[in-house]
Structure 1
């Protein structure tokens, strides 16, 4: 049973991380190649499978569903930054998300934030939506982990879509 769960979870994360490779890139020279995205996806899937846990699988599945809602989104990872991670008294990690809209009209952003430990192991995945950011302006939000996290916690942008 545990092996079946790990394979299913790794597949879910692989599908989640591969989302940008399905035509959401912006075509710039700085965009990762499909091979680089596949390597990143494989690493994330292996990390998740090694960690295990129903809560992490559920968070990853929910993140995938939330990113799917950003129909017609373009890769905007270079337009999103994260503030320092803070762990509150409830044990949940937070990070401020800033989305900079470089488009000439208002846009929304779907941002996947990966919370990892000091060794880069995936601890939690959340998707934050920053809605209706005015043209040439920045919008802000706070990514909050789904569960209590312990030890050193880091955050990075996994995927960011502007739509």
Structure 2
């Protein structure tokens, strides 16, 4: 989020400077324009900071929901090494999706619960979802798709958080 915050604040500074340079009249004076520009920058910084905080809160909430879903799995074994993710893409609704492939190395039919973490370029958590791939045959492969809970902006990567076979 720091990159987004920095870019947003830089844009506001540029606008505020432009207002200060071109928006001065004799009645306002240069110091009044500078004061207005500084106030605009402070307000914009608070808005950007608030948006970053809301995004962080949403990611934390999604992570809590994912943790709860995974805790519902009974007798699950770690299967992170049996799961592979594809390349993230946007769907028609603007949500980020990624294919999830689970290889069942067990001798009987199993299901998988896979936590997928969507992150930004800086490694910050943007969203977390749990995908269930039911009834994968013995020594077979199952497929699923993880879809973000909201629209994610920028370059998004996907990582397997946890994976359980049960």
Q: TM-score, normalised by structure 2?
A: 0.65
TM-aligned CA deviation for residue 138 of structure 1:
0.4
Q: Which has the larger radius of gyration?
A: 2
Counterpart position of 1:129: 132
User: Could you tell me how far apart the structure 2 residues matched to 1:88 and 1:134 are?
Assistant: 29
TM-aligned CA deviation for residue 53 of structure 1:
3.8
CA root-mean-square deviation: 1.7
User: Could you tell me how far apart the structure 2 residues matched to 1:104 and 1:135 are?
Assistant: 5
TM-aligned CA deviation for residue 70 of structure 1:
1.3
Deviates more, 1:149-158 or 1:85-94: 85-94
User: Could you tell me how far apart the structure 1 residues matched to 2:93 and 2:56 are?
Assistant: 20
SS of the residue aligned with 1:136? coil
User: Could you tell me how far apart the structure 2 residues matched to 1:80 and 1:87 are?
Assistant: 21
Counterpart position of 1:86: 89
**Number of residue-to-residue matches in the alignment:** 115
Q: TM-score, normalised by structure 1?
A: 0.66
8 Å contact 1:51–1:122 — kept in the other structure? no
Counterpart position of 1:64: 67
Counterpart position of 2:76: 73
SS of the residue aligned with 2:64? helix
8 Å contact 1:100–1:138 — kept in the other structure? yes
SS of the residue aligned with 1:71? coil
Deviates more, 1:66-75 or 1:150-159: 66-75
Pick from 112, 130, 155 the counterpart of residue 152 of structure 1: 155
Q: Which runs of 5+ in 1 are unaligned?
A: 1-49
User: Could you tell me how far apart the structure 1 residues matched to 2:59 and 2:119 are?
Assistant: 12
TM-aligned CA deviation for residue 51 of structure 1:
7.5
Counterpart position of 1:31: none
